[in-house]
Structure 1
Amino acid sequence: MAIHTDRLSDPAVRAFVAAVNAHDEEAFRGLLTPDATMADDGSERDISDWADREIFSSHGHMDVTKESDGGRALLADYRNDAWGEMRTRWSFTVEDDGRISRFETGQA
């Protein structure tokens, strides 16, 4: 069963999931530090290219099913128009200012 976005523990991660599901590119980018990095299935990716392809142009959506590490590690059913639906894992590094400096995702 999915955890409602409003109930996610970490404020930055909660805002990240909300931005992804609303396809709010401006909010998404505002959550990241200027030098933020990411990896997908262990490979480093350019956040802008990846987010456009995997979230915004393909209508990505996260249904979080489990959280751990104080809300900074998630299991989610992720779907988009490119890949359909898959079980994914997500982990986030959140800085003291509340912005995300790194996230990693991949199939769970």
Structure 2
Amino acid sequence: MTIQTTRLSDPAVRAFVAAVNAHDRDAFLATLAPDATMADDGSDRDLAQWIDQEIFSSNGHMEVDRESDGGRSLIARYRNDAWGEMRTRWSFTVDDDGRIARFETGQA
């Protein structure tokens, strides 16, 4: 059962997922803290390069199946043109300004 993006609990995570699914790079970048970092399958990655490859140049899309930790941990079906669809986990650290300071993703 997919959770509608508008029903996700955490406002920063909700904005992140909405921006990914709308392919809106400006809205996506607005969800991130200026010095945001990320990791994929346990390895830190270059944020700008990763989001270009995995989201924007490959039509990334998230369908959230489950959330926990107040909406800051997700299990989602993620698909893009490069890898197809896979079950993924996402965890988010949100700063005091309500922006995402770090996110980590990987296969679930």
State the TM bucket, normalised to the shorter chain. over 0.9
**For 1:2, what is the secondary structure of its paired residue?**
coil
1:1-108 superposed matches below 5 A: 1-108=1-108
Number of residue-to-residue matches in the alignment: 108
What's the TM-score once normalised by structure 1's chain length? 0.99
Q: Which runs of 5+ in 1 are unaligned?
A: none
Aligned-pair identity in percent equals 78
Q: Which runs of 5+ in 2 are unaligned?
A: none
Residues in 2 aligned to 1:22 and 1:47: alpha-carbon distance in whole angstroms: 19
Runs of 4+ in 1 over 4 A off after TM superposition: none
What's the TM-score once normalised by structure 2's chain length? 0.99
Alpha-carbon RMSD across the aligned residues, in angstroms, is 0.4
Deviation at 1:96, TM superposition (A): 1.2
